[in-house]
Amino acid sequence: MDGRSGTARFVDVSWKVHAREGSAWVPPLRSVVRGVLDRGKNPFYQSAERGLFIAEREGCPVGRVAAIRNGWHNEYHGDRVGFFGFFECRDDQEAAGALMERAGQWLRERGLETARGPVNPSMNHECGLLVDGFDREAVIMTPWTPPYYERLLESSGYVGAKDLLGYRLIQGSEFGFPDRMKKVVERKLARTKLVFREWDFSRFEQEVRTFHKLYCDAWVDNWGFVPPSWQEFWHLAKDLRSVLHPRFACIAEVDGEAVGFVVVARDINRVLRRIPSGRLWPWNMARLFLTLPRVLSGRIILLGLRRDYRNRGFFSLLMHEVARRAVEIGAEEAEASWILEENEALVSPLRSLGLAPHKRWRIYEKPLRER
């Protein structure tokens, strides 16, 4: 399936699958999904390729999946892993099995030995299958999938590889930071001379270049991470600019040197719920333009420290800064996601605040060749 009409049909399958009452699914903007899949405009495909597949019954779409070969991932990790993503399907095991088999065949034809996903289209984008937290609507750039998807994938031979966690921070006294911890943080801030500065949006590209360097260093040890090229990162940054809150795009510095970062995006899904078609008609564009700046809930999409500043207790300082700023602007709530379950450097400070994951996503794998 290819071309503009084929891609449009592929995107439309989501509405065929989720068109029912009671779903916590939030319709995305169709133009955004098409943009992610666009091989001509998305720099991700400079080192990757993808195949799009739809399952039909009596001429009606019932499911879809994309097969993805990420050449930069294989070069960086020295493996032969292929990916699947954009998976949507009705509760139809035969259709799901056929989709996953076709995606696996496409990956095998390119010499890949393992299928991993869902990633849409990489770990630097939306990823994971929701396995806990189905009663909570998705926030910006996180997937919501029905409970039966887990059964569809596992019945197709896939097993869990890694779990990704989401934590909910709600309005209250310092967003959960008790006074005793607040005092500890303030003393540590004074001792370490860590300061936070907001991005200068008039120098947006220069700020993004600083952030790109920090991001690649901070995330290098994360499972499955592949450092995005500058072109890919710049493409993502330009897409996100309209949803970044100016108080929550921060770089942490010590003696003027950048050592960490925090980025919180407004939860555009609060507006998209009111645009069920996912189409940017003029009145929907006006709704986005007028409503989004007033959204006071968000998602901590990125938070990290340079490797030589880890294991110094700095993550709690970053979280406290987010909480302090949230209180200042009267924020309603925020989601911190996604976080690898094994990432104790981030999970431990959240646990110390008495927080437990309110959502869990899973990355699945399956060998493509007989052992």
Structural domains of the chain, with CATH: 3-165+362-367 (3.40.630.30), 169-358 (3.40.630.30)
DSSP state of 24: -
pLDDT over 70 for what percent of the chain?
95
Beta bridge partners of 54: 64
Amino acid type, 173: S
CA-nearest of 320, 290, 293, 315 to 305 is 315
Q: What is the mean pLDDT of the chain?
A: 91
pLDDT of residue 277: 94
Highest mean pLDDT among 82-86, 175-179, 180-184, 347-351: 82-86
CA distance 238 to 35: 13
pLDDT in tens, 90-144: 999 999 999 999 999 999 999 999 999 999 999 999 999 999 999 998 999 999 9
Please give the structure tokens belonging to residue 240: 């996100």
pLDDT of residue 348: 86
Please state, in angstroms and as integers, the Cα–Cα distance from residue 58 to each residue in 27, 55, 93, 99, following that order: 25, 10, 16, 16
Residue with tokens 């431990």: 348
Ramachandran category for residue 154: left, alpha or beta (phi over 0 → left; psi -120 to 50 → alpha): alpha
Kindly give the pairing relationship between strand 129-132 and strand 126-127: unpaired
pLDDT at 2 over 80: no
Average pLDDT of the segment spanning 210-239: 94
Higher pLDDT, 353 or 6: 6
